Every structure is written in structure tokens, then in C-alpha cells.
Amino acid sequence: MTLDTLEELAAYLAGAFDSGDAAVLRDALDLASRADATAHLAAAAGVPQATLRAAFASGEMDLETTLAVMKVIDLHLPG
């Protein structure tokens, strides 16, 4: 799968978050770490591209980065 646009990446990540399955999310973050569109997501979130790629690759994002990504992909916390 290639994720070339911000819209494709946002939809893919939103679906992974919505699945509620940690393995699905981990795989999605791993793919996102290598996706071309991650450069667009990083710019839209105001996060350095290298920082976002590293966070996706490790599966560990700080709260600030997580919230910035969630805002761009229009993902809301339940409740």
C-alpha cells in the first residue's frame, strides 16, 4: 500500500485508531513512518518530519505530537 496524499494517510490512520486493535495501529504507524504523505502530515501538524517519522517507527508519540496528528486527521477522543 502506498500513502501518497495527506488525505489517504489521514483516512488510513483514522481507520487504524478507530479499529481499537493495538496490532492494527502498530502496523499502520509502521507503514506511516515510511509513507511519502508523512511529510505532508508533519507540515500540517507543525511537527518536524524526522520527529514524526521516528515517533511512528517506534510506536511511541508524546502527547503533544499525538494531539497534533489527531487534529490534522480529524480524530476525536471518545466521550
Indicate the pTM of the whole model: 0.85
In the block, residue with C-alpha cell 489521514: 10
pLDDT in tens, 18-76: 899 999 999 999 999 999 999 999 999 999 999 999 999 998 989 999 999 989 988 76
Q: What is the 3-state secondary structure (H, E, C) of the chain?
A: CCCCCHHHHHHHHHHHHHHCCHHHHHHHHHHHHHCCCHHHHHHHHCCCHHHHHHHHHHCCCCHHHHHHHHHHCCCCCCC
Q: Which band of pLDDT confidence, cut at 50, 70 and 90, is reported for residue 2?
A: confident
Predicted local distance difference test score (pLDDT) of residue 16: 92
Sign of CA dihedral 51, 42, 57, 18: positive
